[in-house]
Amino acid sequence: MTEAIDNRYMALAVRLARHGLYSTPPNPRVGCVLVRDGQIVGEGWHKKTGGPHAEIMALVEAGERARGADVYLTLEPCSHHGRTPPCSQALVEAGVARVVVAQRDPNPQVDGRGIGDLEKAGIVVETGLMAEVAEAINPGFNKRMRSGLPFVRSKLATSLDGRTAMASGESQWITGEAARRDVQRWRAQSCAVLSGSGTVIADDPSLNQRLEGEERQPLRVIVDSGLRVPIDAKCLNLDGPRLLVTTADKIPLAGAYQDRGIEVLGLAARPDGKVDLRQLMLELAKRQINEVMVEAGPLLNGALLAARLVDELLVYQASHVMGNEGRGMFAIPGLVKMNQRIQLERKDLRMVGADLRLLFAVSNRDDRG
Ligand SMILES: NC(=O)c1ccc[n+]([C@@H]2O[C@H](COP(=O)([O-])OP(=O)(O)OC[C@H]3O[C@@H](n4cnc5c(N)ncnc54)[C@H](OP(=O)(O)O)[C@@H]3O)[C@@H](O)[C@H]2O)c1
């Protein structure tokens, strides 16, 4: 196969993997293409946990035509008995000739073993083709497997002058309808949506995903150290999983929420009595939360950014000025010198309706002097 042909089929496998953008989490999104004699004989993608893996779907479609085929896979095949038998074994049994893998699986249960199984059976394995593109399909799964923390994306709607609410606390709506529809897609691909007591008290947001045809509801997580959030807040009462996070000492006072079927989690408090956000992220990762979308005000956003827990900023900038009495984006006390700035790298910029959408990667390297 020439490089151009390999690229073409791997690009197709990536597109297949993306079909699982909303449904596959907490599992990784994976795509697979089987090619024999220049013809595609099988295609597959992993739809959801417990369902067939991409390789199996493609092998079933190919049937006998899988023998001697080239396989294009966005992620290394699994080698362990999970909810389904190992895919590496299925590929060996089907008699495929060559497997091109974009990304090695960072899951410690796999991590090269799937590739090893194929090589032991005499199958030619090539890795790394379009690895960066494949990695980008699963930022949360990759980060969780490598670090035990979820991938955190903070979304903010701002005026041109970076204001997120008026001094009165009013903030609805800063951006237009198209931007708000776009937000639904990011929510739907997340495993959790995180907000703070300040936002829930000020805005009573729903924080659920309302994308047509998508059933999976992300976990709604509210941090509320003082149990100040009203018991009838929409985000605590709409269908879907909900988690109210407070400090451990407040658990005896949380009965009214628990009586409504709301799970209340008590975590260690920081010296100022607020929830320890790193502990929260570790706990979310243990619950198989890959991507967290933060939809909060400047206090929680600032605390998360200062704690180096944010990976990406998704900013919708509207064409108006709210003035300097409005509230900012990140409350980070003590940032006074230029070398204390938090560095960002712009990844994308586009118009969504009348608003500008900016996507930044956050540098979590600490170069403060
Ligand atoms: N434009 C936008 O994109 C946007 C989005 C959301 C909200 N808003 C606006 O933002 C305003 C609310 O902002 P806010 O900053 O007051 O509220 P917030 O960031 O949503 O929530 C802050 C609260 O979270 C709780 N919290 C728990 N642990 C924390 C920790 N470790 N660090 C920081 N906070 C912690 C604290 O209250 P406890 O003491 O109760 O724990 C804190 O007061 C509203 O006016 C809303 O309209 C704007």
Residue 55 annotated as catalytic: yes
Which ligand 1 atom sits closest to the C-alpha of 171? Answer: 47
Task: Give the confidence band of 82 by pLDDT, cuts at 50, 70, 90.
Answer: confident
Kindly state if the Cβ of 228 falls inside 6 Å of ligand 1.
Answer: yes
3-state DSSP helix/strand/coil % of the chain, to nearest 5: 30, 25, 45
Average pLDDT, the chain: 96
Measured CA distances, 37 to 64, 67, 69 (Å): 13, 11, 8
Listing from the earlier edge strand, what are the strands of the sheet with 124-127?
39-45, 31-36, 70-75, 98-103, 124-127
Lowest model confidence (mean pLDDT) among 84-88, 202-206, 272-276, 347-351: 84-88
DSSP per-residue letters across 226-240: T--S-TT-HHHHSSS
pLDDT number for residue 364: 78
The pLDDT assigned to 369 comes to 37
More confidently predicted of 8 and 2? 8
Give domain limits for the chain: 3-137, 141-214+278-362
Q: Per-residue confidence at 65, pLDDT binned at 50, 70, 90?
A: very high
The CATH H-level (homologous superfamily) assignment of domain 3-137 is Cytidine Deaminase, domain 2 (3.40.140.10)
Give the distance between the most distant pair of CA atoms in the chain. 69
What pLDDT shows up at residue 366?
A: 58
Percentage, residues of the chain above pLDDT 90: 94
Residue 247 beta carbon below 6 angstroms from any ligand 1 atom: no
Distances (CA, A) of 250 to 243, 254, 274: 15, 7, 11
What SS3 state is found at 70? strand
| pLDDT tens digits for range 21-55 | 999 999 999 999 999 999 999 999 999 988 999 99
From the candidates 55, 76, 295, 312, give the one annotated as an active-site residue.
55
End-to-end CA distance of the chain: 52
Task: Tell me the fold of 141-214+278-362.
Answer: Dihydrofolate Reductase, subunit A (3.40.430)
Q: What is the pLDDT, as a whole number, of residue 81?
A: 80
Atom in ligand 1 nearest the alpha carbon of residue 202: 44
**pLDDT band at residue 365 using 50, 70 and 90 as cut-offs:** low
Share of the chain above pLDDT 70, in %: 98
